[in-house]
Structure 1
């Protein structure tokens, strides 16, 4: 999933991202990960910084840009191994919790 540089800093207790996998065919049930903005911002910063610090295919320094990739697996960092998003799968209750904590009904 491609996001912008601004998403590294865009956080709020009431801001969540819903990443939806629609599957490969119309028969597939959509799957949704409900991820707090703080988690998205932190992962974007860490994954992008690691990418910048890793030499390119020819050993060259990578050029920074505004593009950020949010990935379900980023192997160079153990924190983002396959399954790191599992706690956010269909995590709709986090929206209700955030709403109650902010005083919304």
Structure 2
């Protein structure tokens, strides 16, 4: 556990096929896998998991940023967190809603 002014930060990137949704630092990263909710803090062991529902980034200024995730992969290695998700691509595939579009 970090103490005082010696806090470490995690380097975090959240990437879709179309865009980078976040590229910065966070004090903690929270998400959900089939086992339930989990949190990654600085000093966490290397870790990889399928994730779902959301990624929550706890930022140094005391705020948090929630990114919806339908399905993704989270990799934590040496204080670097990478989240790969097809979220944007999945949403764009679901856009056609008219009857003629569904028949194609």
Class of the TM-score when normalised by the shorter of the 2 chains: under 0.3
TM-score normalized by structure 2? 0.22
TM-score normalized by structure 1? 0.22
